[in-house]
A and B are shown apart, each in its own frame.
Chain A
């Protein structure tokens, strides 16, 4: 197999073997601690512009199947694994991860001491990196000078509006790079989902006459999607709203909060989050590099509803006097635990209550 090199901006070099595409690639390097769910993670559009290091050493064990895509193509720029399974086995398997990487032109590197790499990222924070076939003299400078795209959301979002029609309650879902699992969670509840592109304006949405608004997850720095702020500000005044992940960050910014970049983010699903008022703990599926700054909330109408139990980062906020809340983690799971799935029910109950109020007031 062809030798490939993972080069970090601090000069570290990891040698491994190529799989998938042999093209050189440059992106931000992040690690994910989930022991299962690589297919979901790789196709999670929030990983746009990122290369994923899997901390679990055996990746690809159950192959790639038809049902577990979060989007149809790899979202991650590349993946780094310790060992790629050569003979996956599972009743749903269509092909191996290696075959799929090849078909979809995703670069991959295997045979890396991923634990050493993870420790390096933990200690130094996320870094920019490249996977190359040859370590050239200028490569470190190239990596340092590399600027991640600011259009990641625009590149990830749907180009046109579409619908999954049902006779249920109507939810307008703004797609910042949404995971299919959000659609599945809504479909399971019979919701009539109308999906809008990220740069949609409030009027377009209101014209569709939805019962509630859902802001999806998505990649990159929330500041790069600032165009969505006015839309959110308008909509939250009129309709019940829920935000997930990037949608949470945008909702917070729309209400005056600030976001910051975490040292190495939360990517995995073994972190517990505390629901402050319900006194319950949930294991949550997480994939975020940015977080809402708790101190910045004091000037806003937002209150913290959820926090991570170890580093106490803000994991959820609610708007006082409005039917609007958001969470940093994924209640839609995939991959990861279903513990927080109840939030969709909370949201739909909120929508129903709000409809009742509107009818009564009318």
Chain B
């Protein structure tokens, strides 16, 4: 069927901010979809609230709206644009829910707008538990037996009928709190009773447990002609029991015979046909390791994280094909873009092994529960490709950037075999390393299998790696062993550690011995047909397929897996750099390890190397490609950290030199620059011992801001107010040494603000000043940020501009730099300089219409800003106001304290833009999914130091008609100041407490601040958790409340008595 000509204008809905479970993969799918529809000649309108995305770039769609993904705003866009159709299945669950809401509200019928692709009824059938169950029954496809229980006896009845173990899932609790697996009658009584108690609706789902089954995923496509195919099959290393997003995954399936593969393929195709899906579907299945018995676990009727992984793992661009199918094309009409000659109607054949490992945020969230279960906790993932599993696995390990190059870098020496075996279940994020350590100690595969039910095939791959470790140790310097280790994915560094040599020694030996990687193409067809895709991975074999072209090339390093502090913003910058490099006439080569991103779409660059971002892996590509230089400024700290070693290996870094990069990151050198420029800076000291730190803090004066050097995202940064707290910090948070000093700065109270600077070493352009809503103390990544500044004085703005310009010039910045300030007593103090693209680049680029990453790349390639028409100084702002607001994933990480502080906690961001600050703020709040109530009850529970300020805010709420509630201390203070307030009890005292009030939906806003040594802290934490659990707006910084009140006031008319 040819594509539809009755529709012209199509709206694509994005997935909004990055949260755990919905990350960069939807930027990838949305971008692909938009480009794919444009390619077919449609007029594409795109809406997303997330500015840090490629898809919201003007060049991706014909029209882009960065607006909240809420019915009212999308309706406005629909009424204005009058599209013929909406494509909702490429924006994750957010996009899909939005389409459902629009349809249910009658807006689509009213405006005569069609939903493209899969029908809503099919989506309902796949997503609604009951409908799904009955569909599977009709199809004769098994699902795990389950029932909803509202009493303990119902739960017990189910287990008696269907047998143990059973899974208990309480309804509507934060992160599935209170659930668990019951092996016995007694356990079920305990878990179900607790679960029913915790569930606000006194309801639990009891499900037959299939934990321990093999978890298999199929990515399936279907078109309107009923052609259906399997793009990829994937097998989880971790058996059923861990969320697939938190599971280690291999592609294709490894331990299934063809009979099993075909049985499951039949089921997958039957389901996609029954649902009449037009596009892509992810089907998760569980297979009994001892029989043909299987269950369908879940069907996602849209593109997903798994489909992004499958696309990168196979080369088959699922989202792109899904978009074409949605406009009526059939798979046999679409050309496979990888081969350029064969049809999209084929099932990819892989001739390599893919290994995916999730990236968890536990390095940032030290208090979080590291156990994995049904709630996904990973923020990102890495993928690696090899010609055997050992190679793919070890490449994936070193792509994670968790301080491990090999499996031997994380060991558990303090734990006994028995302890370590016990720690395997329930699994933690570091289980892979635990297993490796057990095997290293001689514990058998069988023992580990019995404990974890991980397939012995996979365990044997780990054992093989351990055997090679041991063989290397016995054969130091022997070429045969070196070759064998390289073929099995060992990094030079791992070999060097075992041989007690330097990595450079091993590298030199390897090069002398001609043990060099070759690069093989990912071509979807296992070499059966010639392909055009410039998508490569390294391995140690005979034939190299990647040939250096005659064109001069530039390598851009990506930013690796998404983690707190290093998000999709850097992928945005990476992709922009590529465009600029291509426009300048060079070949642009990307290296990255993250399958979720746009940058690892092979159609973005001239060549893609899907490789770990370690020195060795980068040098290997450099050896082959001989680029004129490498761009490190856009890959976050990942790439910046490689700058120095790359230069030491004779590689040319484009832009700011390594010496100058180091000057920004080395405390002493940076202080010199600041002194020289006579810039105001908070008093600061460096310490390498605990005693030194105490002395430094005395000198600087408490409170101090303390952190280790070389950090990203404010890791382990805290504000401490006393010697005791300082000692505690030094013991708990850092391993201090001469190489790793801690920085101790005077903590100045004041507003924060920041600028990005674009500089060619002479001309320094400040595209705009961003003013933070929250004062210093809240990490800049967690602050709401406003452009242009609304409250900063002209004096301060001038100081910031001047300081940033002189810093850029003094540090010979070529490219981008980010400077952060604290505004204390109307003076701008420099607090931090990052000599690279920061996470604000997409935001500031979008609001100023200056493509900063592209301009910076041109500058790095030698162009002068003056020639581009820029002059030194601050670029004037237009009359719109833009607010960037952080988004958190606390619902997924129940043990992480939601209290904001100097440690970054947000996972994503949204943008609100309008003509006034309150309007822009309103949009930012709506886009953040914060309900902006018209009236209701506000709970205050604040630290003593904040009470005066809180009183003023409380008064404003009261004037708007809100009723005030407070905990005892805050309440007493309010009453003493003649504010009428209802005081709630402490949680231990009675049921008339804040947590109960939140459960009963009695409170509409919660304001909670704490002091570091607050005795009431345990209650505070419970209140914050309850607010998050019940989706009640929670503010832990009074400045945010102030902004929130500005919005409320601007939206309400005043009612004043006559005087």
On A, residues with C-beta under 8 Å from B are 14, 31, 33-37, 39-40, 55-58, 61-62, 65, 67-68, 82-83, 85-92, 113-116, 118-119, 122, 268-272, 274, 279-281, 283, 309-310, 333-338
On chain B, the residues within 8 Å of A271 by CB distance are 346
Contact A337 B265 (CB under 8 A): yes
On chain B, the residues within 8 Å of A56 by CB distance are 252, 349-351, 526
On chain B, the residues within 8 Å of A31 by CB distance are 528
Of B255, B258, B350, the residue contacting A68 (CB under 8 A) is B258
Of B254, B520, B526, the residue contacting A33 (CB under 8 A) is B526
* Sample (24) of A-B pairs whose CB atoms are under 8 Å apart: A14-B542, A33-B351, A33-B526, A34-B349, A35-B252, A35-B350, A36-B256, A37-B258, A55-B526, A56-B252, A58-B388, A86-B460, A89-B455, A91-B290, A118-B527, A268-B526, A270-B348, A272-B227, A272-B345, A280-B227, A281-B332, A309-B345, A336-B262, A338-B262
Tell me how far the C-beta of A8 lies from the nearest C-beta in chain B, rounded to whole angstroms. 14
Contact B258 A336 (CB under 8 A): yes
On B, residues with C-beta under 8 Å from A are 225-227, 229, 252-259, 261-262, 265-266, 289-291, 331-332, 341-343, 345-353, 387-389, 445, 455-457, 460, 464, 520, 525-530, 541-543, 545
Closest to B266 in A: A338
Contact B541 A116 (CB under 8 A): yes
Of B345, B464, B528, the residue contacting A122 (CB under 8 A) is B528
Tell me the complex Cα distance, A198–B602, Å: 51
Tell me the complex Cα distance, A82–B229, Å: 27
> Which secondary structure dominates chain B's binding surface?
loop
> A58-B389, A119-B527 provided; 9 other pairs, C-beta below 8 A?
A56-B526, A89-B455, A115-B543, A268-B526, A270-B349, A272-B229, A274-B332, A281-B225, A283-B347
Tell me the complex Cα distance, A90–B226, Å: 34
Tell me the complex Cα distance, A334–B528, Å: 21
Contact A35 B456 (CB under 8 A): no
Contact A55 B343 (CB under 8 A): no
Contact B528 A118 (CB under 8 A): yes
Tell me the complex Cα distance, A116–B541, Å: 9
Contact A119 B543 (CB under 8 A): yes
Contact B347 A113 (CB under 8 A): no
Query: Knowing A35-B350, A114-B351 touch, does A89 contact B529 (C-beta < 8 A)?
Result: no
Which of A82, A122, A337 has the most B CB atoms < 10 Å from its CB? A337
Query: Knowing A119-B543, A337-B265 touch, does A87 contact B460 (C-beta < 8 A)?
Result: yes
Tell me how far the C-beta of B518 lies from the nearest C-beta in chain A, rounded to whole angstroms. 8
Query: Knowing A118-B528, A281-B332, A338-B262 touch, does A68 contact B257 (C-beta < 8 A)?
Result: yes
Query: Knowing A270-B348, A310-B342, A336-B262 touch, does A33 contact B257 (C-beta < 8 A)?
Result: no
Of A39, A90, A118, A337, the residue contacting B526 (CB under 8 A) is A118
Closest to A121 in B: B527
Of A91, A113, A272, the residue contacting B332 (CB under 8 A) is A272
On chain B, the residues within 8 Å of A91 by CB distance are 289-291
Which of A40, A91, A268 has the most B CB atoms < 10 Å from its CB? A91
On chain B, the residues within 8 Å of A268 by CB distance are 349, 526, 528
Tell me the complex Cα distance, A269–B254, Å: 17
Closest to A55 in B: B526
On chain A, the residues within 8 Å of B225 by CB distance are 279, 281
Tell me how far the C-beta of B846 lies from the nearest C-beta in chain A, rounded to whole angstroms. 42
On chain A, the residues within 8 Å of B526 by CB distance are 33, 55-56, 115, 118, 268
Tell me the complex Cα distance, A338–B542, Å: 37
On chain B, the residues within 8 Å of A87 by CB distance are 445, 456-457, 460
Tell me how far the C-beta of A243 lies from the nearest C-beta in chain B, rounded to whole angstroms. 23
The 10 A-B pairs at the shortest CB distance, nearest first, are namely: A37-B258, A116-B543, A89-B457, A335-B258, A55-B526, A270-B347, A87-B460, A36-B258, A113-B542, A33-B349
Tell me the complex Cα distance, A315–B345, Å: 16
Tell me how far the C-beta of A82 lies from the nearest C-beta in chain B, rounded to whole angstroms. 6
On chain A, the residues within 8 Å of B259 by CB distance are 67-68, 334
Tell me how far the C-beta of A44 lies from the nearest C-beta in chain B, rounded to whole angstroms. 12
Which of B342, B455, B460, B526 has the most A CB atoms < 10 Å from its CB? B526
> Which secondary structure dominates chain A's binding surface?
loop
On chain B, the residues within 8 Å of A34 by CB distance are 258, 349
Contact B229 A36 (CB under 8 A): no
Tell me how far the C-beta of A299 lies from the nearest C-beta in chain B, rounded to whole angstroms. 30
Query: Knowing A86-B460, A116-B543, A118-B527 touch, does A272 contact B257 (C-beta < 8 A)?
Result: no
Which of A31, A86, A309, A310 has the most B CB atoms < 10 Å from its CB? A310
Tell me the complex Cα distance, A36–B261, Å: 8
On chain A, the residues within 8 Å of B341 by CB distance are 310
Tell me how far the C-beta of A167 lies from the nearest C-beta in chain B, rounded to whole angstroms. 27
Query: Knowing A55-B351, A57-B351, A86-B460 touch, does A62 contact B527 (C-beta < 8 A)?
Result: no
On chain A, the residues within 8 Å of B289 by CB distance are 91
Tell me the complex Cα distance, A62–B319, Å: 32
Query: Knowing A33-B526, A68-B257 touch, does A118 contact B351 (C-beta < 8 A)?
Result: yes
Tell me the complex Cα distance, A36–B216, Å: 15
Contact B388 A281 (CB under 8 A): no
Tell me how far the C-beta of A340 lies from the nearest C-beta in chain B, rounded to whole angstroms. 12
Tell me how far the C-beta of A300 lies from the nearest C-beta in chain B, rounded to whole angstroms. 27
On chain A, the residues within 8 Å of B388 by CB distance are 57-58, 82-83
Tell me how far the C-beta of B251 lies from the nearest C-beta in chain A, rounded to whole angstroms. 10
Contact A57 B343 (CB under 8 A): no
Of B254, B525, B528, the residue contacting A61 (CB under 8 A) is B254
Closest to B455 in A: A89
On chain A, the residues within 8 Å of B342 by CB distance are 310
Contact A61 B543 (CB under 8 A): no
Closest to B288 in A: A91
Contact A337 B254 (CB under 8 A): no
Closest to A63 in B: B257
Query: Knowing A34-B349, A55-B527, A283-B229 touch, does A113 contact B257 (C-beta < 8 A)?
Result: no
Of B257, B266, B445, B520, the residue contacting A115 (CB under 8 A) is B520
Closest to A82 in B: B387
Which of B252, B341, B387 has the most A CB atoms < 10 Å from its CB? B387
Of A55, A86, A309, the residue contacting B349 (CB under 8 A) is A55
On chain A, the residues within 8 Å of B445 by CB distance are 87
Tell me how far the C-beta of B636 lies from the nearest C-beta in chain A, rounded to whole angstroms. 33
Tell me how far the C-beta of B957 lies from the nearest C-beta in chain A, rounded to whole angstroms. 63
Query: Knowing A309-B343, A310-B342 touch, does A90 contact B257 (C-beta < 8 A)?
Result: yes
On chain A, the residues within 8 Å of B262 by CB distance are 333, 335-338
Tell me the complex Cα distance, A68–B261, Å: 13
Closest to B346 in A: A270
On chain A, the residues within 8 Å of B351 by CB distance are 33, 55-57, 114-115, 118
Tell me the complex Cα distance, A334–B263, Å: 11
Contact A57 B528 (CB under 8 A): no
Tell me the complex Cα distance, A25–B253, Å: 32
Tell me the complex Cα distance, A83–B331, Å: 34
Tell me how far the C-beta of A329 lies from the nearest C-beta in chain B, rounded to whole angstroms. 14
Contact A39 B529 (CB under 8 A): no
Tell me the complex Cα distance, A68–B332, Å: 32
Contact A272 B528 (CB under 8 A): no
On chain B, the residues within 8 Å of A65 by CB distance are 257
On chain B, the residues within 8 Å of A92 by CB distance are 257
Tell me how far the C-beta of A338 lies from the nearest C-beta in chain B, rounded to whole angstroms. 6
Contact B258 A334 (CB under 8 A): yes
On chain A, the residues within 8 Å of B387 by CB distance are 57, 82-83, 115
Contact A88 B457 (CB under 8 A): yes
Tell me how far the C-beta of B219 lies from the nearest C-beta in chain A, rounded to whole angstroms. 14
Tell me how far the C-beta of B474 lies from the nearest C-beta in chain A, rounded to whole angstroms. 19
Tell me the complex Cα distance, A110–B283, Å: 34
Tell me the complex Cα distance, A116–B341, Å: 21
Contact B349 A62 (CB under 8 A): no
Contact B258 A115 (CB under 8 A): no
Tell me the complex Cα distance, A31–B254, Å: 20
Tell me the complex Cα distance, A268–B529, Å: 13
On chain A, the residues within 8 Å of B345 by CB distance are 272, 281, 309
Tell me the complex Cα distance, A323–B100, Å: 52
On chain A, the residues within 8 Å of B525 by CB distance are 33, 270
